[in-house]
Amino acid sequence: MKKIVAGLLTFTLILSMTAGCSGKTKGTTKKNEKPAPTEPVVEIPDTPTVKRDNGKEAVFELQNAGAGKTAMTSEELNEAYSEFIFSLMKRCAGEANGENVLISADSILIALEMVAAGADGETLNQMMNTLVPGADNGAAFQFSVDRMNSLKNDSLQIANSIWLNQARSANVYDDYLDYVVGHFDAGVSVIPFDANAVKMINGWTEEKTKGRIKELLEDLDPNSLMVLVNAITFDAKWQEPYEDAQVYSDVFTTGSGVTKTVPFLGSTESVYLSNDEAVGFIKAYDDGKYAFMTILPNDASLDINAFMADMTAEEYWEFWNSRETFATVQARMPEFKSEYAIELNNVLIDMGMSDVFDESRSDLTNLSKTNAYISKVVHKTFIEVDRAGTKAAAATAVVATESACMEPEDVKYVICDRPYAYAIVDMATGLPVFLGTVETV
């Protein structure tokens, strides 16, 4: 039996503007091209953007010029980024209220870095220090691009798109757009922001997410400036597929004490993780780059979301670095399916990214002639793990509005018949691409 793993993420940024905004224009588009919902292209004849002449040096200029290089090593940058991952998980798991949680920080990283490319001043500093703490701004930008490119292989695909409002594109700085297109490989469409625009953007998102996210946007303000969408799809087979005899029924006890008889997946693995707090196993995918890792608390009475809310980046790395190879690791986990949604405004503000949400203090003046602030960030995810594979999806929407020690035994056991956490990890770095909890099945 083949084991297939599929996951995806999408991000949307909506910049809203009031009517009447205009500026000096510069033609940048091709004529007589019609937009395709699945492959954005610049399609409105002579649709302008504007040359930035605000006397400021944008962060992408600093990066491209090689200025402000950090002394941080790649390992240090990964560890800094993991601080963002677990700060995010802390707050999401802390608000879980007995539900399963699933986040993907990579989608949020790529999305917010595309936004931050148009930021300046304290707004920029706050965004960068939240996403990659301790790194200078230019290095943080380079990290996000390098991270995005390093994730890509035959199993994981990334797609970005930019949708410009035909009536408002004259306010978008062309060098900002060039940066996002050049470094994030984004396709561009210039379209009227009417009811059909929502259908086009949702159509693109549905295709890039293999039909798992069908309606990312419900509506779109005709005064919005642009929509940026990021989609990540993950589709890989297990290195050692489950056989029919390894799928059986057993009892899972939820966090609330309810018992459920559900299908379990049993296997013998070779990589075992353990510390004073938890044990886990790693099951590899056949691409050699990604793997599924479980984190099962030793104390069965612990609430799994509270456990993950308390986990720090340092504790995660301690657990990751505990990896040992044994001849036999008896591993069990249930099939499960869950959906998760959270509005991230307060989470990101609490993490230190406050100005960009404040109408009077937000500084996105390297993006467009008119200042803007983020009015809403929504993160939605979906995952299904069964004998056929794992399907995962996540969507993040950002709405921005113009401002007015024991020796091991030979056999180890990791039986996930109660709440546990999991991650789909990049084996090269140890960083989780997906990070979630199973409170119930």
Instruction: Give pLDDT, residue 401.
Output: 52
Beta strands in 112-258 (DSSP E): 156-165, 186-191, 224-237, 247-253
Place of tokens 């019609």: 34
- DSSP code at position 71: -
How far apart CA 361 and CA 113 sit, in angstroms, is 19
CATH of region 238-335+407-438, choose from 3.40.190.10, 3.40.50.300, 2.30.39.10, 1.10.1660.10: 2.30.39.10
Which one, of 432, 436, 419, lies nearest residue 333 by Cα?
A: 419
Cβ neighbourhood burial of 97 (10 Å; 0-12, 13-18, 19+)? exposed
Phi, psi (deg, nearest 5) at residue 115 = -65, -45
Question: Can you read off the two tokens belonging to residue 97?
Answer: 């209220």
Q: Could you tell me which residues come within 8 angstroms of residue 71 by beta carbon, excluding any fewer than 6 positions away?
A: none
pLDDT at 255: 94
Rg (C-alpha) for the chain, rounded Å, is: 23
Strands in 316-419 per DSSP E: 324-334, 336-343, 372-386, 389-402, 411-415
pLDDT score for 233? 81
The alpha carbon of residue 407 and the mean position of all alpha carbons in its chain are separated, in whole angstroms, by 38
Give the CA angle between residues 158, 163, 165 to the nearest 5°.
Answer: 170
Q: What is the pLDDT of residue 253?
A: 97
User: In 3D, which of 316, 323, 314 has the Cα closest to residue 270?
Assistant: 323
Residues 165 and 223: their CA atoms lie apart, in Å, by 8
Give me the torsion for CA of 56, 58, 59, 63, rounded to 10°: -110
Cα–Cα separations (whole angstroms), residue 346 to 117, 374, 376: 22, 12, 10
The alpha-helical segments, DSSP class H, found in 95-136 are 105-116, 121-131
Are 286 and 237 a contacting pair, CB within 8 Å?
Answer: yes
Beta bridge partners of 231: 10, 159
> Tell me, what's the pLDDT at 419?
97
Cβ-Cβ contacts under 8 Å for 79 (sequence gap 6 or more): 313, 317
Residues 6+ apart with CB under 8 A from 150: 426, 428, 429
The span from the CA of 74 to the CA of 197, in Å, is: 40
Give yes or no for a contact between 423 and 295, defined as CB atoms under 8 angstroms apart: yes
**Cβ contact 23:17 at 8 Å:** no
The fold of the 4-236+338-402 domain, in CATH, is: Antithrombin; Chain I, domain 2 (3.30.497)
| 3-state secondary structure at position 318 | helix
Q: Pseudo-torsion of CA 112, 114, 118, 124, nearest 10°?
A: 40
Does the pTM exceed 0.95? no
How far is Cα 331 from Cα 328, in angstroms, rounded to an integer?
Answer: 9
Report how far residue 70's alpha carbon sits from residue 132's, in angstroms, rounded to the nearest whole number. Answer: 12
Q: How many helices and strands (H and E) does the chain possess? A: 10, 18
Q: CATH 3.30.497.10 spans which residues of the chain?
A: 4-236+338-402
**Block residue for tokens 């549905």:** 206
pLDDT mean by block of 10 residues, the chain; 441 residues: 33 42 33 42 52 79 56 92 97 93 90 88 95 93 93 89 85 87 88 89 85 77 80 82 92 95 94 96 92 96 96 98 91 88 88 92 87 74 70 56 51 95 95 94 90
Asked if 113 and 131 touch (Cβ cutoff 8 Å), the reply is yes
Sign of the alpha-carbon dihedral angle for 62, 65, 69, 75: positive
For the chain, residues classed under CATH 2.30.39.10 are 238-335+407-438
